[in-house]
Structure 1
Amino acid sequence: MINRRTFTKAAGLGSGVAAVSLAGFPASAKASTGHRSGTGGPAPTVPTVTPGTHTSFDRIKHVRAGVLNVGYAEAGPAHGPVVICLHGWPYDIHSFVDVAPLLAAQGYRVIVPFLRGHGTTRFLSARTFRNAQQSAIALDIIALMDALKIDQALLAGFDWGTRTADIIAALWPERVKGLVSVSGYIITNVEAQKQPIPPKAEYAWWYQYYFATERGRLAMENKTNRHDLCRLVWDTVSPTWDFDDATFERTAAAFENPDYAAIVIHNYRWRLGLADGEARYERYERQLATRPVIEVPTITLDAERDPFTAPGNGASYRDRFTGKYAHRTLTGIGHNLPQEAPTAFAQAVVDVDHL
């Protein structure tokens, strides 16, 4: 476990607040008065919402946090218990566009940040290495919490967001009230990643190997190729999700970040051991390589139609969660679980808060 009071100095990171509101959140995000966070009593039932009911966040803010100026959406009461929702690739904050108002209506303060290299999040310095190794992204979220003076939060994520939330829960458990982890325990062990996996699983990761080539890097730097590649990933990893072009285009705008290609390429190359990280993160990576257990209350979610979902209904990672725990598999749902099944995702957040 790492002391949160000393990590910023050790990692060479700083923080500061400079929030800018662009508009107000929709009326549907008004808080209810019946929130019973962490009481151990029965969790309230989240009302059912049709995916795609909401199409945008009306309020975007910015805050200086660590090496970034983080862009994030916020919903719900300012003093409600905090939920931080973390997106994956090739996605953005719109994965939670229906989730956020559901949680806000239950009295939660919902924070949905653009990860580094996405949307309106920017590096503070042109000299900062565009590093996307896993511990760097996790420390971004710790820095965000510090900048917003959030001592503890519920963390909920998928894809890169799951990995980030898992890392924080493992290394800084005092900052995590509860965890919703899509796909379970996916902290990367770079040495283990060098070993081949079954061919069918390798096939699903085709873009990871594409990005290991110069051809793949050039594709990500080209606006048209980047757009079409990301759309292809959406189509293939969420085979039952009937989204329209406008839904994809709202997220695709986040890919225009000037650091997007560099961050995406570095992330996948680093995970394969093909790109170096930074020395200041090495002590965290050494701890993560030991596959530390997660002790905070956790609900894991598997998407049945996600090609990356491991077989065994969560059995492959069950031993990594040693606290209060529940597992759910969502039938007919693909990789972008919170946007495809927002009610189930929001319910998991509320439920883990009452474990």
Structure 2
Amino acid sequence: MPIITTDTLAIAYTDTGPRAGQPVLLIHGWPDDGSTWDAVLPMLHAAGLRTIVPTLRGFGETRFLAAETPRTGNSAVLAMDMIALMDALGIERFMIAGHDWGSNTAEALAVGWPDRVARLAMLATPPRLGGMPTPPFAQAQRQWYHWFMATARGAQSVRDDRKGFAHIHWENWSPRGWFDEATFQRVARSFDTPDWVDVTLHSYRARWDEAEPDPRSQWLEDKVKATETLALPAIYIQGAVDGVNPPSASKAVPSKFVGPFAFVELSGVGHFPQRENPRAVARHLIQLFTGTPADLSDTVDRSLLMSKTKPFLAGAAAIAVIAAAAIGVAQARPRGASALTQVAQFDHQATGVAVTADGRRFVNFPRWTDDAPISVAEVMKDGSLKAYPDAKWNSWRNANSNEMPVGDYFVCVQSIVPDGHGNLWVLDPGAPGNEKILEGAPKLVKIDLATNRVTKVIKVPLDVALQGTYLNDIRFSPDGRTGYITDSGTRGAIIVIDLETGKGFRALDGHGSTQIDKSVTVMTDGKPLVRPDNRQPAFAADGIAISNDGKTLYYQALTGKTLYAIDTALLRDGVSETDRAAGVKTVAQTHVADGLWMSKAGVLYISSPTDNGITRLVGDHVEPVLTDPRLRWPDTFSEGADGRIYVTASHIQDTSWFKPGAPASLRTELFSFVPGAAKGK
């Protein structure tokens, strides 16, 4: 078994399944070891998932590096062990399934590192969010071993016969005859370590304040106690005949999850679901990890009773059935929103989309990896493209750049946005290939939608569009007089343009909220997105949205995980940068995001390239709206008069930037969906 060394441990683990698959961390419980997942793994692998199975501190081949390190076992310190393992493996974002101790370790990971944990499955042990009250007498009786280990005599008894102590729990916690003795003896070898008893005693004593948690983890223990709910997609798997944590002990579990959630009860199953009924567990994990979060729903699973399924066996037929089911749910319709509908497909990379009040639809094609033959197009009813506003504005070609005045043509259009006053504005950063700005090329072009004629060109000067700037997206004040542009280039900023005078300035220039977050790794297809020279995408302030009353501007760096906002009053000319910086508000911790959109209903939508999805802001957190494997790099939004939301899939991860040998021209798509009501609205 491979070993990874952290600052305190040598952690034994396995890393199996498709290397390009979405990573899943599977954490075992007590008294058990990593083999608890053995019968589940083949089915997860068949569904395209990569699995990392560690051995917890005190168990098996995992060892402490120093004699002076406290032999602690509280959930928060176990979570810190797990994050150190994932750091060492270079895995930034992942999903988790945890059983027993692993359940609360997974919960602590979701609390402590919400930007890294994408989805969560807890098995057989309820969350401790908000703290652990003293249990009622009936549950305290089932947990007799907790109190037994809190005494000196009880602790000595565990030291004297650790296997006997573990064995009685295997017997009592699940139906009679569920395991064979040879299996238990194999697992019990993981308890024959110098530290198993000390880690065990500390784990149970610390949860009832009979021992202090590991000092390094106190911050996380406090955070779990202070956190009442989680919003990420999650399931809780409950054995119907669990002898230690029966369904009656889990009644409050659903109230701890405010995002997509399912309570799954497995008939005939006790405390070790993944060992007793691996097929059912694998099926529900695959639905969570590969399906649409909004499709999660409470289930009483009677399809695979223990009497019909031998533990530890997963036949090839079951793998095929479950993998096929996973493929089926991957494009399932999300609850509260219509299914994703493909509107059009293009032979070149599209980024921006604009839908006007009368239903006209426009897209744009930046010159990133190919010299697109058209920059701005109207999508006609038959799906064909018509150069807009005319062929002349779209006639720029990189090969003829020395012969064509950059101010009179679309050079590298990144975004197109209606202003609500009968005009379509074209944002041209003037930097083909997302590289050097061509002098005089950065501009805003105003087109009258009634006459289809250019009525104004605002050139963005070099003291505003600095070399290294990339004009990314734009939003307008309700009165149509001011434009707010994100600069996603080497020095992020919000660029403010007076649309009447054409004058502009940089705001929050270099401020932390407009810069990349160097702690973020952009992940797609379950792995870091990097160029051949190992550079990852580094895009500063990118997504932008404005409240319907025009008073609040929202923005986020693509290479980031925090959504910010500022009052637009602070973006007026003459306000000091000190006052602006003081007015920046942190709205929510999010995820890697490209496009933002404030709907007419006042809901902020956020694209999520990491999981081919879309989320929305609810209060101070985000919740999933939909995921769909066709939505490769959801980029830019627009909204029709009927409330239908449009989004481009720009396939950035499929470009030759990140896939050497990929064709210069990419096939991309325009999709739409009808949003449902956000929770809490």
Q: What is the one-letter code of the residue matched to 2:159?
A: E
Deviation (angstroms), 1:342: 0.8
- Please name the residue that 1:115 is paired with: 56
Which residue of 232, 240, 255 maps to 1:319?
255
Relative distance call for 1:241 and 1:87 in structure 2 (3 A) is: farther
8 Å Cα contact 1:94/1:250 also seen in 2? no
Please say if 1:221 is aligned against 2:159. Answer: yes
2:34–2:53 CA contact under 8 A, matched in 1: yes
Q: 1:173 is paired with a residue of what secondary structure?
A: coil
Query: Paired residue for 2:96, among 130, 142, 155?
Result: 155
Contact 2:24 2:95 in 1 (8 A): yes
Match of 2:168 in 1: 232
Q: Distance in 2 between matches of 1:278 and 1:314?
A: 27
Q: Please tell me whether the aligned partners of residues 185 and 320 of structure 1 are also in contact (alpha carbons under 8 angstroms).
A: no
2-side partners of 1:300 and 1:330: how far apart?
A: 11
- Give the 5 Å matches for 1:117-156: 117-156=58-97
- Name the counterpart of 1:304: 240
- 2:14 is paired with a residue whose SS is strand
CA deviations on 1:70-90 (whole Å, 9 max, x unpaired) are 111232122321111111111
Written as runs of structure 1 = structure 2, the 5 A alignment for 1:47-58 is none
Tell me the TM-score normalised to structure 1 length.
Answer: 0.78
SS at match of 2:282: helix
Residue 184 of structure 1 deviates from its aligned partner by 6.2
Aligned partners of 2:119 and 2:288 also within 8 Å:
yes
Aligned to 1:103: 44
Per the TM alignment, residue 170 of structure 1 is displaced from its structure 2 partner at its CA by 2.1
Paired residue secondary structure (2:73): coil
The question of 1:205 aligning with 2:143 is answered yes
Contact 2:124/2:272 (CA < 8 Å) preserved in 1? no
Are 2:184 and 1:248 equivalent residues in the alignment?
yes
Seen in structure 2, the aligned counterparts of structure 1 residues 341 and 314 have a Cα distance that, compared at 3 Å, is: same
In the alignment, which residue of structure 2 is the partner of 1:56? none
In structure 2, relative to structure 1, the CA distance for the partners of 1:314 and 1:259 (3 Å cut) is closer
Alpha-carbon offset, residue 91 of structure 1: 0.7
More strand by share: 2
State the alpha-carbon separation in 2 of the partners of residues 227 and 352 from structure 1. 35
Task: Give the counterpart letter for 2:28 in structure 1.
Answer: H
Cα offset for 1:149? 0.6
CA distance in 2, matches of 1:73, 1:118: 14
Deviation of 1:135 (Å):
0.9
Match of 2:287 in 1: 351
**For residues 66-105 of structure 1, what are the structure 2 equivalents within 5 Å?**
66-105=7-46
Shift of 1:250: 1.1
Q: List per-residue Cα deviations over 1:125-148 (Å, max 9, x = no partner).
A: 111111112210111111111011
Alignment correspondent of 1:279: 215
Q: Is the 8 A contact 1:211 1:265 kept in 2?
A: yes
CA distance in 1, matches of 2:176, 2:281: 17
| Separation in 1, partners of 2:246, 2:252 | 7
Q: Distance in 2 between the 1:338 and 1:260 partners?
A: 23
Alpha-carbon distance, 1:314 to partner: 5.2
Partner of 2:301: none
Distance 2:22 2:41 in 1: 13
CA, structure 1 residues 283+85, in 2 after alignment: closer, same or farther (shift >3 Å)? Answer: same
Conserved? CA contact 2:100–2:125, under 8 Å: no
**Once the 2 structures are TM-superposed, how far is the Cα of residue 158 of structure 1 from its aligned partner?**
1.2
CA contact (8 A) 1:240 1:334 kept: no
CA distance in 2, matches of 1:314, 1:211: 24
Give the SS at the match of 1:327. Answer: strand
- Out of 254, 264, 273, the position equivalent to 1:328 is 264
Residue 118 of structure 1 aligns to a residue whose secondary structure is coil
Alpha-carbon offset, residue 280 of structure 1: 2.7
2:276 maps to a residue whose letter is E
Q: How far apart are residue 65 of structure 1 and its match?
A: 2.6
Asked whether the 8 Å contact 1:163–1:185 carries over to 2, the reply is yes
Flag structure 2 segments of 5+ consecutive residues without an equivalent: 294-681
CA-to-partner distance for each residue in 1:240-270, whole Å, 9 max, x for gaps?
4521111101110100121100000011111
Q: What TM-score results when the alignment is normalised by the length of structure 2?
A: 0.41
Is the 1:184–1:317 contact (alpha carbons within 8 Å) kept by the matching residues of 2?
no
2:98–2:123 contact (8 Å) kept in structure 1:
yes
Counterpart contact for 1:270–1:277, Cα < 8 Å? yes
CA apart distance, 1:292: 3.4
Partners of 1:272 and 1:127 lie apart in 2 by: 24
Q: Measure how far apart 1:310 and its partner are.
A: 5.0
How far apart are residue 283 of structure 1 and its match?
1.9
Q: Which moved more, 1:178-187 or 1:119-128?
A: 178-187
Superimposed CA distance per residue, residues 21-46 of structure 1 (whole angstroms, 9 cap, x where no aligned partner): xxxxxxxxxxxxxxxxxxxxxxxxxx
- Aligned amino acid, residue 90 of structure 1: P
Q: Of the two, which has the highest radius of gyration?
A: 2
In structure 2, C-alpha distance between the alignment counterparts of 1:189 and 1:310, rounded to whole Å: 21
Moved more, 84-93 or 211-220: 211-220
Amino acid at match of 1:285: E
Aligned positions, number: 291
Q: Of the two structures, which has the highest relative contact order with CA contacts closer than 8 Å and spacing of 6 or more?
A: 1
Rounded Cα–Cα distance in structure 2 between residues aligned with 1:180 and 1:335:
15
Counterpart of 1:231, as a letter, is H
Tell me, what secondary structure is at the counterpart of 2:263?
Answer: strand
SS at match of 1:174: coil
CA distance in 2 between partners of 1:103 and 1:241 (Å): 27
Show CA shifts across 1:208-256 (max 9, x none).
111111122222222xx11111111100001245211111011101001
- 2:239/2:268 contact within 8 Å kept: yes
1:105 Cα deviation after fit = 2.0
Residue 317 of structure 1 and its aligned partner are, at CA, apart by 1.8
> CA-atom RMSD, angstroms?
1.8
Is the alpha carbon distance of 1:112 and 1:241 closer, same or farther for their aligned partners in structure 2, counting shifts above 3 Å? Answer: farther
Is the Cα contact below 8 Å between 2:24 and 2:52 reproduced in 1? yes
Show the counterpart of 1:46.
none
Partner of 1:261: 197
Which whole-Å CA distance do the structure 1 matches of 2:250 and 2:73 have between them?
A: 27
Which one has a larger percent helix, Structure 1 or Structure 2?
Answer: 1
